[in-house]
Structure 1
């Protein structure tokens, strides 16, 4: 019964969060249902699961249940190009920056106000801070919304802060259920058995995969110190879930400082990058460094961490396609700090990675 419950609810979760965007506003009710179902699952069945089942769930993510598949077929996903690369939300006011990338005005304005002078997506230096309205994309978004009966009120001018898609925001029931679930999960991370901690880390990983509210609350509730300790676990499932949970939490800008300021956390992330027990754990550690390096002041600290640059270089040569992409982007991000010099690391890892040899 527990396995059926988990497969059905987690499949619905995956349908909501794995589409590179949000779902239509009418699905907010489903969001609430899934949130409450997940809370009930942990409340009723606890945190002790068979390790084999947990690994299967981790790798498959997940087989389609009959009920959940029937509901999932009613989803309408937002096209990836309509979502802001920073917030991952549908863009209300798309604008083009000097590198040619498009972002939602509110997100990229906040990025620039924080003192950043690079493109968040490419890492290129910004030639200027001009924001050019992407009217063609905005018109496509309007057409797409109109065809599906989704309310959309495009801004009349660049200073508009229209709260479009308010209906797509999580319901109060969903928010409260997710908060209750996060509280249960963090309690297990702090005091549960090793098996329970692994289950809880996976729950945090999924819960933090979407929604700024979830990411903010999970971090504010004290999950990061416990996830940091779990990074050194000899259990590959627990390690993979903990580093991926930290990666998901790092998407929320305010959480980056919490991760960087947690004693030993950065070093543990680098250790997973160097010696992680699974390929996914190592590559998600690289993705975490890429996410954290979006903050200019952290680039020097990351590159100064022993073995970080060398491990990224190794991953650049031997990782999967996704791993190589995260590694090269992280390295580029780090290189944009004027005080970073990779000569020593380059010489150390040259024979391992054929750095600069063109091989």
Structure 2
């Protein structure tokens, strides 16, 4: 009798029939043919492999992306890694959901068909043809289609990127930027650049096209425009170029020698659009003042524009990555005499630098110590004494001693030891205070 009852329950479960639990509540079991063999959950997007076994798309794609090329259920080698949508099972699942909606089962919506390698390759071929014909409108429409597909899902984006879309779009950007006036291809260039940001990071070939003279000129032109999205996309594109070690000096020189480029980057920090554009602008400026053949000229331009105050104000409450980059730029600026003098004259310099030691990250600490070291060694005896006394007043001596105890890199340790020796000579001349007190009455213009 017990065996007979158990068999009835098992048969009912297989058929998805309703059973009542001990409290009299209805339990609804999902039919086994509607469950994914991997997740054992109701399939939302059933797809069939070359072995004839059906899985939920999300589960089987994760299986394949993990490096497996066999069917999980049969262990047979897959003849194709492109799963085929199983419309029959999907329709049956949807019908079952509708039949049981009174039990809280929601109908699974018909999923969008994901992009395939063949579909992406076809669009890219058409973009190449439009590029060669200089068909701006046709190219813009095709790029918009690629962008729309990429935004639909991460799966689509991976498929698009893996088919070399970055290189094709970069080459198209280069081709349309070679017109006598950027205004002629304004719309298509903007659409290509917008789509390219989805493809980042770019490979070497794509960076080669985007780093051409005409393409860089166009990026800088966008950077100086009033449109926020153009400026954001342009600075992210330029960041791709300067992030590559190959041919960095040439790209940085071209950028720094272009009229209005440095001013546009400064404006992105002063009037931020988003964190990513601020980080990109800081990184590009850092490379400009450390790798450019005209770095002295660029530093002078930045100092005169008020970069020191801006960097210090940005560092006060910025997130870790922005703070690191701002302190890195400040460190590069302080390699120049003008930069050091301007930093010494700024009331925020010592409080911010001391506060950031051991508070943000190892990199921020290294930059803070480096700037502190440069400022303490700066100028004549009177300036030196003034800077050292200010550093003592905000608690630099105690902070640097703590840093030695905690531990740091050899170069940083050497600078810390040297600064401590300078500070120690004047310790009896001033009473040290908590560096946090220096921020109590600080009026922030940001």
TM-score normalised by L of structure 2: 0.42
In structure 2, what is the equivalent of residue 43 of structure 1? 189
Alignment match, 2:331: 290
CA distance in 2, matches of 1:337, 1:204: 34
Distance 2:294 2:365 in 1: 27
- 5 Å matches for 1:195-344? 195-209=229-243, 210=245, 211-221=248-258, 222-232=260-270, 233=272, 235-251=274-290, 252-262=292-302, 263-276=305-318, 278-338=319-379, 339-340=383-384, 341-343=386-388
Distance 1:328 1:240 in 2: 21
Q: Does 1:349 align with 2:394?
A: yes
Task: Give the drift of 1:229.
Answer: 0.8
Q: Do the aligned partners of residues 49 and 43 (structure 1) sit closer, same or farther apart at CA in structure 2, a change above 3 Å counting?
A: closer
Q: Give the distance between the partners of 2:277 and 2:287, measured in 1 at CA.
A: 15
Number of residue pairs aligned between Structure 1 and Structure 2: 226
CA contact (8 A) 1:243 1:284 kept: yes
Q: Which residues of 2 match residues 23-34 of structure 1 at below 5 A?
A: none
Displacement of 1:322: 1.6
Shift of 1:295: 2.4
User: In structure 1, how many angstroms separate the alpha carbons of the residues matched to 2:346 and 2:210?
Assistant: 39
2:224–2:264 Cα contact (<8 Å) kept: yes
Q: TM-score, normalised by structure 1?
A: 0.52
Q: Is the contact made by 1:273 and 1:311 (CA closer than 8 Å) also made in structure 2? A: yes
Instruction: State the distance in 2 between where 1:280 and 1:45 align.
Output: 29
Residue 253 of structure 1, CA deviation: 4.8
Q: How large is the RMSD of aligned CA atoms in angstroms?
A: 4.1
Aligned counterpart in structure 1 of residue 218 of structure 2, from 184, 191, 204: 184
Moved more, 182-191 or 250-259: 250-259
User: How far apart, CA to CA, are the structure 2 residues paired with 1:243 and 1:279?
Assistant: 13
Deviation at 1:34, TM superposition (A): 11
Is 2:402 aligned against 1:358? yes
CA distance in 2, matches of 1:261, 1:241: 19
C-alpha deviation, 1:244, in angstroms: 1.4
What CA distance in whole angstroms lies between the structure 2 residues aligned with 1:307 and 1:205? 29
CA contact (8 A) 1:227 1:242 kept: yes
Whole-angstrom CA distance in 2 between matches of 1:10 and 1:322: 35
Deviations 1:289-340 (A, max 9, x none): 1122222443222232331232222221212112211221222122221334
Structure 2 match to 1:91: none
How far is the alpha carbon of 1:271 from its aligned partner?
Answer: 2.2
> Which consecutive unaligned segments of at least 5 residues does structure 1 have?
13-29, 72-169
Name which one, 1 or 2, has greater alpha-carbon Rg.
Answer: 2
Deviates more, 1:302-311 or 1:220-229: 302-311
More helix by share: 2
- Does the 8 Å CA contact 1:287/1:330 hold for their aligned counterparts? no
SS at match of 1:358: helix
Q: In 1, distance between residues paired with 2:321 and 2:365?
A: 12
Asked if 1 retains the 8 angstrom alpha-carbon contact of 2:223 and 2:235, the reply is yes
Ranked by relative contact order (alpha carbons within 8 Å, sequence separation 6 or more), the top structure is 1
Q: 1:217 offset after TM fit, Å? A: 1.1
Query: Closer, same or farther in 2 for the Cα pair 1:193/1:34, shift >3 Å?
Result: closer
